Amino acid sequence: MRFNIIGKLVLLLLPLFVFAENAEIAMVIIEDADKDNYSSAVKTCEDYKIQYDQITIPKDGYKDNIENLFYENVNGNLQPKYSVLVFPNGRVSYKDGKTWTSAITDAQWDQIEGYARNNDVRLVFLNEYPSTATGTKLYKACDGSDCKFDLTHKVIADEQNLPLGDTVNSVNLVVNENIYHVPAAIDPTQGMEVIPVMYFSPAEPDYPEQTVAAVTVNKNGAKLIAFYMAFGEWSKESSALNVVWLSWATGKDLKHLNGGSYDSNGALQDAASGDVKSNSLEIVFVTLATLFTILATLF
């Protein structure tokens, strides 16, 4: 009798375990970062009750060994802690005088890419700048005030290569002077497969044709996505695109990330309209319903 009760209890508690899983996403930010640099990604995760860990990198360098991205399982073997590493401010950079510097060294970036390559972990770069790191360059070479990174462009997705691409194209996302964005071009780099997955529409006369807004990159097995635009908490475009990278990075629909019924298409459409719906009440309802079911079954 006692065994039957315990067995029933375990089965009935399974829905609650969904909400107690370890985070599979880590946000990697610079120490003392401006909140605007990462608040958009954090807000989306919190709105939809998606668990994440925050990894803070000091400006004088990342001193922890790459093994801190692993945990030891019951058999004593190392397992990767995360399946997604998100870099909300590009290369974890800070301004050192007049120069932007990454707090992560080239050797450590190689380690991170190795972690991704060997453990099927995906890397997400928001507010990235075109460079050889992603097989891209500026569409139009410029310097300082000559750069036109505040023009108005429609964001156009490649529906064949980007999850939710058809939904992105249906909701009319536009970036302008309110969101810093950098039109890019592909600059083939050996050892990389670079696929444009999102474009900026033309903006005459500086950008007479479509330019690259985001790419996916396969670097000898290390998979990443990079967006050449800032992500602002105030921007509905940013909120919508957060749903896109979540889908690409996890390979899951939103409802499978948080145990709710609100899917990625609906979330993207609502975010693009400025109407982000929190998943909190739904999760509370499911939790209470489960508890009532447990009590009714046991007593």
Tens-digit pLDDT string for the chain (299 aa) = 444 544 443 444 444 443 445 789 999 988 877 777 788 999 999 999 999 999 988 888 777 666 678 887 888 888 899 999 999 988 888 877 778 888 898 888 999 999 999 999 999 999 999 999 999 999 999 987 789 999 999 999 999 999 999 999 999 999 999 999 999 999 988 889 999 999 999 999 999 999 999 999 999 999 999 999 999 999 999 999 999 999 999 999 998 887 776 899 999 999 999 877 655 444 444 444 444 444 455 55
- SS3 of residue 297 by DSSP: helix
Q: Count structural domains, the chain.
A: 1
pLDDT at 296: 53
By residue range, what is the domain housing residue 13? 2-298
> Which CATH number covers residue 165?
3.40.50.880
How far is residue 127's CA from residue 235's CA, in Å, rounded to a whole number?
A: 14
**Which residues touch 159 (CB under 8 Å, ≥6 apart)?**
165, 166, 169
Alpha carbon distances (Å) from 194 to 159, 163, 224: 16, 16, 10
